[in-house]
Structure 1
Amino acid sequence: MQKGPISILVVEDSRTQAELLRHMLEQEGYDVTLAADGETALRKMEAIRPAIVLTDVVMPGMDGYDLCRRIKQDLPGIPVILVTNLFDPADVLRGLAAGADSFIVKPVEPGLVRSQLEAVLRTAERADPDSTPLEVSFAGSTYIVAAGRLRILNTLLSTYTVAVAKNAELQEAQEQLHTLNEQLTDTVEELSCSNESLAAENQERRRVEKALADANKKLQLMASITRHDLLNQLSALWGYLDLALMLREKDPAGAWQHIESAAGMVNRIDNTVKFTAEYQKVGAAAPVWQEIRAVADRSVRHVAPGAVTVRNDVPPGVEVCADPLIEKVFANLIENALRYGKTLTTITFSLRREADGTSTILCEDDGVGVAPGEKEKIFSYAYGMNTGLGLFLAREILAITGITIQETGTPGNGARFELRCPAEVIRAPGE
């Protein structure tokens, strides 16, 4: 029985691999000597006869198979374990033919090294008399195996152990890969949902940006128009006042007529200034989604319908993306119907879905209607200066998000205002 630590000779041309094996074996309590090649190993074995040799297979000069063969010829009692990156049946047969006692496959695992060392040392202590040479043909080559049955069995068990360990690693890797694939699939789905959400948000942002830009252009244009109108009205006002001053002594009655005309101009200037204040609000806030039915209900609070019935047939839940001032548009439509309907008894709001994906909000009444020649004029700025600027302002508010408005009623049967909404600015529940 050997006293003290068991001595092991490690033959490895890679310094990193050699030191790794040294550290691993010394942790297990072995006494380790290193050799960088086969010739060096043979010289060291003359001085220190190790209990076992671990040798790399692929080395410059004398490879592991040749070294194993030399050891078995010169020092047959010393077991040899081959350490290799390669592992196929031909490697096993070459190792057996060279006299190897076992195999260890790189990368080296401490548990496997310990078990192989213990198995080989136990086998070396037992007699194995049956070493009749065995001729084995494999893959076009013939190998002469002279190892005993115990050594062959130990070698086969070591290869089987490695195969089982590698198979377990492969299964674990496959399970991890499966898990990673599932995680990747979930991540891709989440990313796809995020991309869709981001695309929708970007589309909404572009629509809002365009609406604000259009509103800004309209404000600049209207400011220019209003300034021009105010200057003209002020010039006319000064003209009437000058004429009144010139005639105040010679023709008092004529002077009062000019003063009355000047008062009318003051009223128009006042209306223009008030309209400018209202127009400034158009596009000041970003368009928002609003329930059409709720907007129609709230708009009634801004007017006094009296005996006139205001019906709301808009389906609940349908929303329109529009300037927040759309409530004033609905209120203005009601107010116009009350002011000009004469025989009016009912005002009705409803919604019609069109075949092309657009929708139309309808405001209909049973009053006298709008004359054919007035249907487009009632939306103009110049026309509004005399009758109120509500419909001109309504068209501007709706245009912020691409909604158009026109009057399509039949004179004598009532007015009908159609607010045509593009598909992208209207949505029903679940859309």
Structure 2
Amino acid sequence: MNTTATLPKKILIVEDNRTQAEYLRYILAKEGYDISLASNGVEALTLISQEQPDLILTDVLMPEMDGYTLCTAIKTNPVIAEIPVILVTNLYDPIDVIKGLAAGADNFIIKPFDPSGINRRIVSTYLTRRDTDPGNCSLPLDVSFAGESHQIAANRRQVLNILLSTYEIAVKNYSELQETHDQLNYLNEELRNTIQELQKSNNDLIFENSERKKVETALAGANNKLQLMATITRHDLLNQLTSLQGYLELAYSDREVNPENAWTFVRKAMKIVGQTVETVRFTDEYQHIGIKSPVWQDIQELVENSMRHTSLNQIRMENTIPHGIRIFADPLIEKVFANLIHNSVKYGTKSTLIRFSIEKRDNSFSLFCEDDGVGIPSDEKEKIFTFQYGKNTGLGLFLSREILSITGITISEIGTPGVGARFEICCPVEVIIMDSKGIDPSSAENISSPSP
């Protein structure tokens, strides 16, 4: 620091907050000033009477005597009036400037203060205070502000210093406000991006949860299915093996005394072996239901492909389902159509025709497989889809209902006994797609309305 005689050496800090006072002392002591402290205006006047400082920094809000009163007391005392007084204030209101001018303050330092700018303010205030003001007028100026009247006796240089300080503060505050505004815009943009990312993450989580629920539902269904399979096959296999053991023991005991009877028991044992093989084969087919995800498949092609799994003999086949209508179902759905064809051939007795068709209803589609055979007795229309009934006539219909149920499709028998069997496969509208580009307009009429 310049240590010439034109710069202040002794500075009095008047501050009731001990922490603030010590902080100011620390800042100014590093600049080489001789610092003394007072906790209020009364104590400051006592110290000034003992040894005059070169400059005074005083807080505004203090007990016993505030900064404005202290400044007025200094400026109205000819002995010490030339000591520069800088008010340390928050400067929240324009009235603070008016009060400072009325008290004769030489300048302001605003809280929270910038340590690097305090010494600059002290030096400029001290140097301009010592300069003469050729246009100085000693008459006070009456100023009315905010409904109050104030007398300002400050000279033009004091007024200019304070106004420049105030302007500097306003510019600084505006710059900080602008910087804060820019930071807020940046943070707002970052927040917007974060919100978008969170929304995307939330949508991903919703999708993942949905998929997880589907998987959980599928696993639960698969678990129930496996439990059912384990229960029914274990029971049946035990019965079959017990019967097999019994027939073999009878055949063994009669092998010498009654060989013909022994062979009868062997033939019955072989029949039991055949049933056991069918049971094992059923478990192999049943465990594949629901293993693969459902897919969209063309219904006409499914019906056509299903005929390769069975022989029609002399029965005529009609497939009136147009090409381009797809169904969302388990990949094993082809077995459903194959089972329906097989049942008509095997159990229709007098069947000469098997016909597949489709009807559009209000909220669903119905697929039909019908024949002109002996039909299904009324008391057996639901039994034929059960596992226990299937053991006697094949397990195809039981498996068919299981396959279709994967995507909410149902199957029932609605034919007239003695006239023919008629199976209705009821499909919710969401599992059927009609591809207009794939449907031949001339065959579109095959999608009929419900029969009256």
CA distance in 2, matches of 1:110, 1:427: 77
**C-alpha deviations, 1:246-275, integer Å up to 9, x for none?**
655565444433322221111001111232
**1:406 alignment counterpart:** 411
Indicate the residue corresponding to 2:174 in structure 1: 167
Aligned counterpart for 2:107 among listed residues 102, 105, 111: 102
Note the alpha carbon deviations across 1:45-100, whole angstroms, 9 max, x for none: 45654332221111222211122122222411111110112431222222111110
| Cα 1:332/1:370, change in 2 over 3 Å | farther
Does residue 333 of structure 1 match 2:336? yes
Q: Is the 8 A contact 1:10 1:35 kept in 2?
A: yes
**TM-score for the superposition, normalised by structure 2:** 0.74
Q: 1:396 aligns with which of 402, 412, 432?
A: 402
Contact 1:409-1:415 at 8 Å conserved across structures:
yes
Q: How does 1:78-93 map to 2 (within 5 A)?
A: 78-93=83-98
Q: Secondary structure at the match of 2:149?
A: strand
1:340/1:395 CA distance change after superposition, 3 Å = closer
| Structure-to-structure mapping, 1:23-422, within 5 angstroms | 23-26=26-29, 29=31, 31-37=33-39, 38-46=41-49, 49-72=52-75, 73=77, 74-110=79-115, 112-114=117-119, 116-128=121-133, 129-245=136-252, 248=255, 252-282=259-289, 288=293, 290-293=294-297, 304=308, 313=323, 326-328=330-332, 330-342=333-345, 355=363, 371-373=375-377, 375-399=381-405, 401=406, 403-407=408-412, 418=425, 420=427
* Cα separation, partners in 2 of 1:209 and 1:97, compared to 1, 3 Å: same
Distance in 2 of aligned mates of 1:4 and 1:133 = 29
SS in 1 for 2:331: helix
Alignment partner of 2:425: what SS?
strand
1:161 positional shift: 2.1
% identity of equivalent residues: 42
Give how far 1:336 is off: 2.0
Which of 5, 10, 20 is the aligned partner of 1:3? 5
Cα gap change, 1:422 to 1:53, in 2 (>3 Å): farther
> Amino acid of the residue matched to residue 201 of structure 2?
S
Q: How many angstroms apart in 2 are the aligned matches of 1:114 and 1:426?
A: 85
Distance 1:118 1:4 in 2: 9
SS of 2:193 mapped into structure 1: helix
Q: Write the distance in 2 (CA, Å) between the matches of 1:408 and 1:161.
A: 94
Partner deviation per Cα, 1:133-185 (whole Å, 9 max, x = no partner)? 11222233322111112211221222222223223323333333343334333
Which residue number in structure 1 is paired with residue 449 of structure 2? none
Tell me, what secondary structure is at the counterpart of 2:151?
A: strand
Task: Find the aligned partners of 1:59 and 1:82 in 2 and give their Cα distance.
Answer: 12
| Aligned positions, number | 411
Aligned to 1:323: none
Q: Alpha carbons of 1:372 and 1:278: their partners in 2 closer, same or farther (altered >3 Å)?
A: closer
Task: Give 2:118's aligned amino acid.
Answer: V
Q: Secondary structure at the match of 1:33?
A: strand
Say which is worse superposed, 182-191 or 369-378, in terms of deviation. Answer: 369-378
- The letter of the residue matching 1:98 is A
Specify the SS of the correspondent of 2:308. Answer: coil
* SS, match of residue 21 in structure 2: helix
**What is the distance in 2 between the residues matched to 1:169 and 1:297?**
75
Instruction: Report if aligned partners of 2:57, 2:87 keep a CA contact under 8 Å in 1.
Output: yes
- CA distance in 1 between counterparts of 2:302 and 2:139 reads 107
Secondary structure at 1:55 match in 2? strand
Match of 2:349 in 1: none
CA contact (8 A) 1:80 1:100 kept: yes
Corresponding residue of 1:12: 15
Alpha-carbon contact 2:414-2:423 (below 8 Å) kept:
yes
* Unaligned 5+ runs, structure 1: 321-325
The residue type paired with residue 57 of structure 2 is: L
Deviation at 1:223, TM superposition (A): 1.9
Q: How far apart are the structure 2 equivalents of 1:35 and 1:171?
A: 37
CA–CA distance in 2 between the matches of 1:153 and 1:58? 24
Question: What TM-score, normalized to structure 1?
Answer: 0.77
**Does the CA-based 8 Å contact 2:6-2:127 persist in structure 1?**
no
* CA deviation string 1:172-215 (max 9, x = no partner): 33333343334333333432333333233223323322332233
CA contact (8 A) 1:315 1:351 kept: no
